[in-house]
Chain A
Amino acid sequence: MSDITVTKGAPPRFRSATEESPLARWAMIAAAVLGLGILVFAPLIAVFVEALAQGVAASLASLATRDAQEAIKLTLTIAAISVPLNAIFGVAAAWFITKFDFRGKAFLITLIDLPFSVSPVVAGLCIVLMFGTNSLVGGWLVANGYPIVFAMPGIILATMFVTFPFVARELIPVMIEQGRAEEEAALTLGASGWRVFWTVTLPNIRWALLYGVLLCNARAMGEFGAVAVVSGKIRGQTATMPTTIEMLYQEYLSVAAFSLAAVLALLALVTLLLKTALEIRHADQLAAAHRH
């Protein structure tokens, strides 16, 4: 066996047949990093750079103004009302769709998804036409002292429209996957309907529900197009954070606009952080598409 030569050092590395060459691999990684760097990271960094252009003190002072404070308060109030309402809708719709068999189910799901494919501006327009002073319903409501458009209810409706599918869309696939067996078992054992929901269904869907609420909230606080149409942008009354950012920016108050924008950008970062944490820790209880 003297013809076997022993190579010294590390054994030669073979490339697996299902891998690209190292050069192609690193070129693709570089393209991904560069692309995301320019497209995503740069705008994110720019928000904070512009906000702090005149120092932290100037930035904080602009956030302490009355307009900024009112805008933050209004945005928080709107999210606090519209997100729970959409969460209730999402749970009810997911329960109705996954626990019962009926005709037209696919059509109903399409209708629930509809707001995702309607432009936010068109959504706002729809609400103005439905509840504006010129419309039948809106005219009657205004005459009785309940204005919808250019007031808080209109902003809430517009926000709910654009965030409508978030929770339902997250829950439906999860609840389909979990089936009905556990609920049926609980019912057979004599549990009431509400008890089944609170002790069997809710614990199974809680992470998916949280995931949907998280995305719904991020969009609710940041919605601009639909809200711009229905709010009338009255300072201190119906100007939300995004519409206030627009007004400040158009008045060339760059630091004030970007400081408010930075607050929303921080919110977006927190949302992404929580979302990623949920995807890592509770992947098995989220909709299949998020399991990386």
Chain B
Amino acid sequence: MGRPLIHRSPMPGLGLSMGITLTMLSLVVLLPIGALLLKGANYGLAGIWETVNRERVWAALFLSFRLSLFAALFNLVFGVLLAWVLVRYRFPGRRILDAAVDLPFALPTAVAGISLTALYAPNGFFGQLAGEIGWKIAYTQWGIFIALVFVGLPFVTRTVQPVVEEIEREVEEASATLGASRFHTIRHVILPMLTPAALTGFALALARAVGEYGSVIFIAGNIPLVTEIAPLLIIIQLEEFNYDAAAAIGIAMLLISFAMLLVINLIQVWSRRRIGYV
């Protein structure tokens, strides 16, 4: 006899909780995603490839992915620093800073989008400063980068923070007793402990940035081949009622997200094996 599908349990509510879970999951998430995949299947691999294999689509996918990568890298470094500062140091205003890290989660993306544009446009506060040295931010790829840094900001900090809290001081003391400089301890003892969590946060920030729409479209300028992101292409196709093409680009993006989800899970499995926690 193999393992039973569901173990017998005295707990009540199996049918009800399973029913609600599976029905709502199917109706809200699985069936709609299935509809996209079905549309792609009808359109055919050749059709999808033909749609995606255009200069404008490649440019958009490459742009979304490249700038998301840069933004996630920035957030990786700044996020670890922020987590360290918030956990280890005591200074006035620390709690406000800690709460502010979550603002990009709480602030609607459209609000962030118009606000960043107002700041970085040529007549905006930061835009004017940058303009004096001839640096154009809004309506260029720099603008997209800044918007993506904004939306990805909380991920690394929030995954690394609990790990910094768990670090036992004895480990650092041991390292110091053995003659390691503080820099050496941080580089060879502390950072390796933070790596799995930091990588998880990095992957989450990357996944979020690749699909981001609301905060980017206002500041991007949306010039085809230059500052046009992949999600915007889907919207453009939909507005022309070109459902096949929209579905093709949608499937390409879905595959990218699935690949990243897989990577996140692999990182977590790897880190669990290596140090026993995420």
Contact B210 A119 (CB under 8 A): yes
Contact B28 A161 (CB under 8 A): yes
Q: Is B32 an interface residue (CB 8 A)?
A: yes
Inter-chain CA distance A273–B99, complex, in Å, is 8
**Given A93-B17, A122-B211, A126-B250, A229 and B97 contact (CB-CB distance below 8 Å):** no
**Chain A residues with CB below 8 A from B1, complex form:** none
A32–B33 touching, CB < 8 Å:
no
A residues 90-147 in Cβ contact with B at 8 Å? 92-93, 95-97, 99-103, 108, 110-123, 125-130, 132, 134-135
Residues of A within 8 A of B126 (CB): 38, 42
Say whether B115 faces chain A, with CB atoms less than 8 Å apart: yes
Is there an interface contact between B111 and A100, defined as CB atoms closer than 8 Å? no
Q: Hey, which chain B residues are within 8 Å of A161, CB to CB? A: 28-29, 32
- B162 & A288 in contact (Cβ 8 Å cutoff): yes
Contact A32 B82 (CB under 8 A): yes
List the B side residues contacting A249 at CB < 8 Å. 114, 218
- Among the 9-residue stretches A6-14, A61-69, A202-210, A219-227, the one with 4 or more Cβ atoms under 8 Å from chain B is A219-227
Q: Are B35 and A130 in contact (CB under 8 A)?
A: yes
Chain B residues closer than 8 Å to A128, beta-carbon distance: 238, 243
Identify the closest chain A residue to B119 (Cβ).
Answer: A46
Known contacts A93-B17, A100-B6; A29 and B85 CB within 8 A of each other: yes
Q: Do B20 and A89 have beta carbons less than 8 Å apart?
A: yes
- B235 near A17 with CB under 8 A, answer no
Instruction: State whether B36 touches A122 (Cβ < 8 A).
Output: yes
Chain B residues near A223 (CB, 8 Å)? 108
From B6, B32, B86, A102 is in contact (CB under 8 Å) with B6
A130-B31 in contact given A100-B9, A119-B231 (Cβ < 8 Å):
yes
Residue of A nearest to B161 (CB): A292
Contact A25 B89, beta carbon cutoff 8 Å: yes
Report the contact-size class of chain B (Cβ under 8 Å from the partner).
Answer: 35 or more
Q: Contact at A36–B100, with CB atoms within 8 Å?
A: yes
Within 8 Å CB of A235, what residues of B? none
Contact of B182 among A21, A135, A242, A289 (CB under 8 A): A21
Which of A180, A254, A289 has the most chain B CB atoms closer than 10 A to its own CB? A289
Could you tell me the distance between the alpha carbons of A111 and B85 in the complex, rounded to whole angstroms? 35
Does B101 sit at the interface, judged by CB under 8 A?
A: yes
Q: Is A174 an interface residue (CB 8 A)?
A: no
Contact assessment for A121 and B32 in the assembled complex, using a CB-CB cutoff below 8 Å? no
Instruction: Name B108's contact: one of A103, A135, A242 (CB within 8 Å).
Output: A242
**Contact, CB under 8 Å: A164 / B28:** yes
Q: Is B53 positioned at the interface, with any CB of A under 8 Å from its CB?
A: no
Quick check: A47 and B89 within 8 Å, CB to CB? no
B47 touches A (CB below 8 Å): no
Report whether over half of chain B's contact residues are helix, strand or loop; otherwise say mixed: helix
CB distance from A9 to the nearest CB of B (A): 25
Which residues of B245-270 have CB atoms within 8 Å of chain A's CB atoms? 246-247, 250, 253-254, 257-258, 260-261, 264-265
Nearest chain-A residue to B2 (Cβ)?
A103
Do most interface residues of chain A lie in helix, strand or loop, or is the interface mixed?
helix
CB B195 to nearest CB in A, in angstroms, measures 17
- Min Cβ gap B94→A in Å is 9
Quick check: is B25 within 8 A (CB to CB) of the other chain?
yes
A2 at the interface (CB under 8 A from B): no
In the complex, A84 has a CB within 8 A of chain B: no
- Quote the shortest CB–CB distance from B208 to chain A (angstroms): 8
User: At the interface, yes or no: A245 with Cβ under 8 Å from chain B?
Assistant: yes
Is A234's beta carbon under 8 Å from chain B? no
Looking at A17, A92, A119, A254, which has the most chain B CB atoms within 10 Å of its CB? A119
Residues of chain A within 8 A (CB-CB) of B257 are: 117-119, 122
Query: B110 to A224, Cβ gap below 8 A?
Result: yes
Task: Check if B214 sits within 8 Å of A224, measured CB to CB.
Answer: yes
The 6 closest A-B pairs by CB, nearest first: A119-B211, A222-B108, A193-B12, A17-B176, A126-B32, A92-B20
- 5 more CB-based (< 8 A) A-B contacts, given A18-B169, A117-B211: A92-B20, A96-B21, A97-B21, A113-B261, A225-B212
24 A-B residue pairs with Cβ-Cβ distance under 8 Å, sorted by A, are A18-B169, A19-B182, A43-B116, A89-B21, A89-B24, A92-B24, A96-B18, A100-B6, A110-B265, A112-B29, A115-B29, A117-B257, A121-B213, A122-B211, A122-B257, A125-B36, A125-B238, A128-B243, A157-B32, A164-B29, A241-B108, A246-B218, A261-B111, A292-B161
Write the residues of chain A forming the contact surface with B, with a CB cutoff of 8 angstroms: 17-21, 25, 28-29, 31-33, 35-36, 38-44, 46-47, 50, 85, 88-89, 92-93, 95-97, 99-103, 108, 110-123, 125-130, 132, 134-135, 157, 160-161, 164, 180, 183-184, 187, 192-193, 196-197, 215, 218-219, 221-225, 228-229, 241-243, 245-246, 249, 254, 257-258, 261, 264-265, 268-269, 271-273, 275-276, 288-289, 291-292
